[in-house]
Structure 1
Amino acid sequence: MSKCPAPVKPEKILDYIEPRTDLIVPIANGEPRTLIDVIEEAADTLDGVRIHQMHCLHDRPYINGAFGNNLRHVSYFLSHITRPAYAAGHVDYAPANFSEVPHIMNDMTKEPIVIAAASLPDQHGYFSLGTSADYVASMIGRRRFFLEATPHMPRTHGANVIHHSQILGWCQTERELVAVPRVEPKPVEKTIAALVAEQIPDRATLQVGIGGIANAILAGLHSHKDLGLHTELLHDGVMDLVEAGVITGVAKEHRRNRSVTTFALGTKELYSWLDDNAAVEMLRVDYVNNPREIARLSNFVSVNATLEVDLLGQCASETIGTKYFSGSGGQADFARGAMYSPGGKAFIVLPSTTRDGRSRIVSTLAPGAVVTTLKNTVDHVVTEHGIARLRGKTLAQRAKALIGIAAPEHRDELARSAHERGLLLD
């Protein structure tokens, strides 16, 4: 057995932070909250330190510009925390497909330190990064690590374990994880979900996001057989299907009998279920979200949400007009992987209208909107009014199909615009 050194005080991390040090923090509950508390308390002594992270869950003074250039946040996917801070000019945003974030972080930082939440060490001296693998798993053994271990972090299996000999040090806290309650789907989301669930065959391998539509889709799959899972985010709906014997992974050509993910976010029940669950593999995102790896799985089904789709099939999933809302995430990764999967299907889902009644199927994207998923990659678009199948279709066929799933009260105006643009000639 390998004897693990005793934990140190969290303040020890400050010994390793020099001017212009880059700190890399895992996604969501991978954030080492006590270590960042310590770093913030010493912010007046820092110089040009940057914290790099996707999808931050905790609001902090440094995120809101309290320490100026001493300590600044670089986001790779805006959350409800970083979104307003970015709009106010206090956060930097680096756009990237999730699969490419590890490579970008490595290329754009110099000798960074990964600071991460982890499980307590086991009898062999190994820590688990618990709910995270994401971009930091690819850095194990290649970058410096300092860990914050808590008994509340589940010990998960996969490529996210790290030996005490590979870290600068570790501290111990009692910090609990952020629990995210289940989202109850709205009626329109249930309608969309039912349309998608009908298109998913037995023995397919799934990637499904989070939210009302995703939860409704998963809830509608309980009569399916031998589904597989290869997804960036694992949440409670997935747990339910595994427990019900619906997700088994027996038909997967790779990682057979295992549910593959790169991070998890959900209820305390989910975190307890993940603890020492060898049927779930936490793998690095440059494997999980790699379109080439996804394409090796037959009958792969990808489901992701968007904010707006134009009549060409372009999807704006991260901006509302010129305003950034989230980020690219893994949408394009999975849409492209599903395109190359034998028998694969990719679905982009959205309600047909906004809360104030505006159409989400539009003639042209809002001025300044960012295209997240290209028209050439989009396969199916689904609203509560039906499914538009776009792969291989002409521009006229695309426009006609998309108008057909728009809200009825907007179809005449969309058709008029399509004729003016020359997309429809009859």
Structure 2
Amino acid sequence: MIREEYQKKCVTADEAVKVIRSGDWVEFAWAASVAGLLDEALARRKDELYDVNLRGGVLLTPLACIESDPTGEHFTWNSWHLGGRERKWAQKGLAYYIPLKYSELPRYIRENLQTDVVAIQVAPMDEHGYFSFGVTVSHYAAAIEKARNVIVEVNEDMPRVHGGYDHMVHISKVDYIVEGGHRGLPVLPSAPASEIDRQIAAYVLPEIKDGACIQLGIGGMPNALGQMIAESDLKDLGIHTEMLVDGFVDMVEAGKVTGRCKNLDRGRMVYSFAAGTQKLYDFMRDNPSLAGYPVDYSNLPFIASQIDQLISINSALEIDLTGQVCSESAGPNIISGAGGQLDFVEAAYHSKGGKSFICLPSTFKDKQGTVHSRIKGLLTLGATVTDTRPTVQFVVTEYGKVNLKGLSTWQRAEALISIAHPDFREGLIEEAKKLGIWRKKSK
């Protein structure tokens, strides 16, 4: 019976995308999950469609439909979190950012947004008629609830994952099935850790105790910390994170992860989406120690904070002397997005024994080679505040770590200047004086 239904719904990509109409909003692609055949078929319909809005984010591969339409007259990309390719589109007026707190995304879809079509990539159907969402659970179930039509593109290489709930869709809720064969998954190489990344990670590592539960962001510093954890004497760690990356696999293979101390999902590694190398995707395939959840479970501070010793490690672009953190824009120019950073900053602090870390190198070089401090008197004009100053706990650079919780403005200024690059400290003191947040007795 299920196989008969499968055959009835199985069509070509060109046939499937005919359900997309001008003016539609389409939930389309996220990170390592991109329905390539549907993308190419939609691009072929360009001239007969207008004002189609596609939603997704963290793209690792090109989208033919967006790149086939340099005027943006036919397709517009609306991103939940911009990657490098999406930033370039945004500069051309072909892509726009959707501000979000990631844990709230399924609710946005259910209560606030128009969703006409879902066109996503899935793992092959099982004998019970279920398609696993594979490496992206995130918000797909919520989008399917709202959609007029649901199209799935089956990738034979997509790992079938174990989950908590809302990590799969039954064939009865699917309108069209497109068989994609073996298409592989896009690789996101682990960012190499610099010496500064390792110095920063070395300040964080002593704060992690046996039995802690780890959330890591992406980038060189979290990667360095993952490697250091794998080489450490730590034991019985847990994992509860937004994004599953290669660093977690290293920790598991080193025997550091058991999850036996977790208050929730004991013995299982919780995540909402994954992107990395083939090592990660192979690790995920039918792995019962993993639990893929929608993001309103993985990231919701109320849930995550119930886990004791939750350790959250995230990066930032700049921070001002009162503790406001920008992690998503360079001035008014959007770089990525808020993602789930604020979710985990809040969750880790409210966890019993938990700690939240914002990590950043003390300086950066601009295109002209001039060095600037990432710790500033005021954020760059137009910069987005990702984490408000009351929410920030530990801030770490290669020059040390400080805990801002409960500090007054002059204490915050003093603490942050103490971990700024030495070449900028005197200038920051002068800025603090002008801002009225420097005490004469301060060091």
Q: Tell me the SS of whatever aligns to 1:117.
A: strand
Q: Residue 39 of structure 1 corresponds to which residue in structure 2?
A: 42
Matched, 1:413 2:432: no
Q: Residue 62 of structure 2 corresponds to which residue in structure 1?
A: 59
CA 1:139–1:62 in 2, change beyond 3 Å: closer, same or farther? Answer: closer
**In structure 2, how many angstroms separate the alpha carbons of the residues matched to 1:110 and 1:353?**
42
**In structure 2, how many angstroms separate the alpha carbons of the residues matched to 1:213 and 1:111?**
37
Matched, 1:179 2:190: no
- Alignment of structure 1 residues 254-265 onto 2, 5 Å: 254-265=264-275
Match of 2:80 among 55, 76, 81: 76
Matched, 1:398 2:412: yes
Once the two structures are superposed, residues 170-224 of structure 1 have per-residue CA deviations (whole angstroms, 9 ceiling, x without a partner) of: 1111321101222220001000011111111111111101111001111111321
TM-score by length of 1: 0.96
How far did residue 59 of structure 1 move?
Answer: 2.3
**In structure 2, how many angstroms separate the alpha carbons of the residues matched to 1:129 and 1:94?**
23
Q: Residue 170 of structure 2 corresponds to which residue in structure 1?
A: 163
Matched, 1:154 2:159: yes
Letter in 1 for 2:334: Y
Identity %: 35
Once the two structures are superposed, residues 230-268 of structure 1 have per-residue CA deviations (whole angstroms, 9 ceiling, x without a partner) of: 101111110111222211111111111000000111111
Matched, 1:251 2:252: no
User: Is this contact kept in 1: 2:115–2:146, CA < 8 A?
Assistant: no
Residue segments in structure 1 that go unaligned for 5+ positions in a row: none
How far did residue 420 of structure 1 move?
Answer: 2.0
Q: Residue 340 of structure 2 corresponds to which residue in structure 1?
A: 330
Matched, 1:49 2:52: yes
Matched, 1:113 2:143: no
How far did residue 380 of structure 1 move?
Answer: 0.6
CA 1:100–1:69 in 2, change beyond 3 Å: closer, same or farther? Answer: farther
Q: Residue 383 of structure 1 corresponds to which residue in structure 2?
A: 397
Q: Residue 219 of structure 2 corresponds to which residue in structure 1?
A: 211
User: Is this contact kept in 1: 2:16–2:178, CA < 8 A?
Assistant: no
Letter in 1 for 2:419: I
User: Is this contact kept in 2: 1:43–1:67, CA < 8 A?
Assistant: no
User: Is this contact kept in 2: 1:228–1:250, CA < 8 A?
Assistant: yes
**In structure 2, how many angstroms separate the alpha carbons of the residues matched to 1:191 and 1:288?**
29
TM-score by length of 2: 0.93
**In structure 2, how many angstroms separate the alpha carbons of the residues matched to 1:26 and 1:281?**
21
Q: Residue 22 of structure 1 corresponds to which residue in structure 2?
A: 25
**In structure 2, how many angstroms separate the alpha carbons of the residues matched to 1:72 and 1:181?**
28
**In structure 1, how many angstroms separate the alpha carbons of the residues matched to 2:80 and 2:125?**
29
**In structure 1, how many angstroms separate the alpha carbons of the residues matched to 2:275 and 2:429?**
41
Residue segments in structure 2 that go unaligned for 5+ positions in a row: none
Q: Tell me the SS of whatever aligns to 1:196.
A: helix
User: Is this contact kept in 1: 2:42–2:65, CA < 8 A?
Assistant: no
How far did residue 377 of structure 1 move?
Answer: 0.3
How far did residue 111 of structure 1 move?
Answer: 4.4
Q: Residue 316 of structure 2 corresponds to which residue in structure 1?
A: 306
User: Is this contact kept in 1: 2:27–2:143, CA < 8 A?
Assistant: no
User: Is this contact kept in 1: 2:123–2:131, CA < 8 A?
Assistant: yes
Once the two structures are superposed, residues 370-395 of structure 1 have per-residue CA deviations (whole angstroms, 9 ceiling, x without a partner) of: 11110000001000000011011111
How far did residue 108 of structure 1 move?
Answer: 4.3
**In structure 1, how many angstroms separate the alpha carbons of the residues matched to 2:96 and 2:106?**
17
Using the TM superposition, name which of 365-374 and 26-35 deviates more.
Answer: 26-35
Letter in 2 for 1:417: E
How far did residue 67 of structure 1 move?
Answer: 5.6
CA 1:44–1:106 in 2, change beyond 3 Å: closer, same or farther? Answer: farther
Letter in 1 for 2:392: V
Match of 1:267 among 249, 271, 277: 277
Q: Tell me the SS of whatever aligns to 1:423.
A: coil
How far did residue 280 of structure 1 move?
Answer: 0.6
Match of 1:128 among 129, 132, 136: 132
How far did residue 136 of structure 1 move?
Answer: 0.9
CA 1:256–1:138 in 2, change beyond 3 Å: closer, same or farther? Answer: farther
How far did residue 66 of structure 1 move?
Answer: 2.8
How far did residue 396 of structure 1 move?
Answer: 1.2
Letter in 2 for 1:329: G
User: Is this contact kept in 1: 2:373–2:420, CA < 8 A?
Assistant: yes
User: Is this contact kept in 2: 1:119–1:150, CA < 8 A?
Assistant: yes
User: Is this contact kept in 1: 2:239–2:269, CA < 8 A?
Assistant: yes
Q: Tell me the SS of whatever aligns to 2:364.
A: coil
**In structure 2, how many angstroms separate the alpha carbons of the residues matched to 1:420 and 1:9?**
66
How far did residue 141 of structure 1 move?
Answer: 5.0
**In structure 1, how many angstroms separate the alpha carbons of the residues matched to 2:101 and 2:64?**
28
User: Is this contact kept in 1: 2:27–2:54, CA < 8 A?
Assistant: yes
Once the two structures are superposed, residues 264-298 of structure 1 have per-residue CA deviations (whole angstroms, 9 ceiling, x without a partner) of: 11111111111000111110011111111111111
**In structure 2, how many angstroms separate the alpha carbons of the residues matched to 1:141 and 1:375?**
37
Q: Residue 230 of structure 1 corresponds to which residue in structure 2?
A: 240
Q: Tell me the SS of whatever aligns to 1:53.
A: strand
**In structure 1, how many angstroms separate the alpha carbons of the residues matched to 2:241 and 2:271?**
5
